[in-house]
Amino acid sequence: MNKKLGFTNPVFCISHNKINQSPGHEIAHSISHWRNSKAAKTRFINEGIGVYFDQNKNDKLQRAQEVSISTSVSIKNIWTTENEVPESLLYPVAGAFVEYLIQYDKEKFLQLSENQTYENAKKIYGGQIEKLIDDFTKKLNP
């Protein structure tokens, strides 16, 4: 398939994992895809779902704090500039942010998973999305 491990191609129900990869990450991508195969996905929220449901028993926020120490993180920038963020920063921050949104309001997050764009988040969360991002950023960089 001309791809490095691990990856998922949910259309074909295929996941190929590395031996040291978490057990849930790629499967979470398939489940998320088949919840609504026409969902508008963003790399930030989609990978955040994979990290959040990776079945590792680690503290997602603590891991995100560890990788963001040396860099100023803008959630809005990471969310809207899909390919400019290295995976080593994107994955932990996205996973912690997805966890934060689910803890805030699971039903709203499920709506967001159907259309993961920042513009849709503004509709779903109303004026709260900016405050949620600000509050999360304060937790990320205390």
DSSP-assigned beta bridge partners for residue 33: none
Domain count, the chain: 1
pLDDT digits (tens, 9 = 90+) for 29-71: 777 866 777 889 999 999 999 999 888 889 999 999 999 876 7
Q: Is residue 101 part of a domain?
A: yes
In a domain, 109, yes or no: yes
Q: Could you tell me if residue 92 is inside a domain?
A: yes
Q: Which residues span the domain enclosing 66?
A: 41-140
Judged by average pLDDT, the poorest of 3-17, 83-97, 124-138 is: 3-17
In a domain, 36, yes or no: no
Q: Assess if residue 13 is contained within a domain.
A: no
Contacts of residue 2, defined as CB under 8 A and 6 or more positions apart, other chains included, come to none
Least reliable range by pLDDT among 4-8, 28-32, 73-77, 124-128: 4-8
By the 10 Å C-beta count (0-12 exposed, 13-18 middle, 19+ buried), 126 is classed as exposed
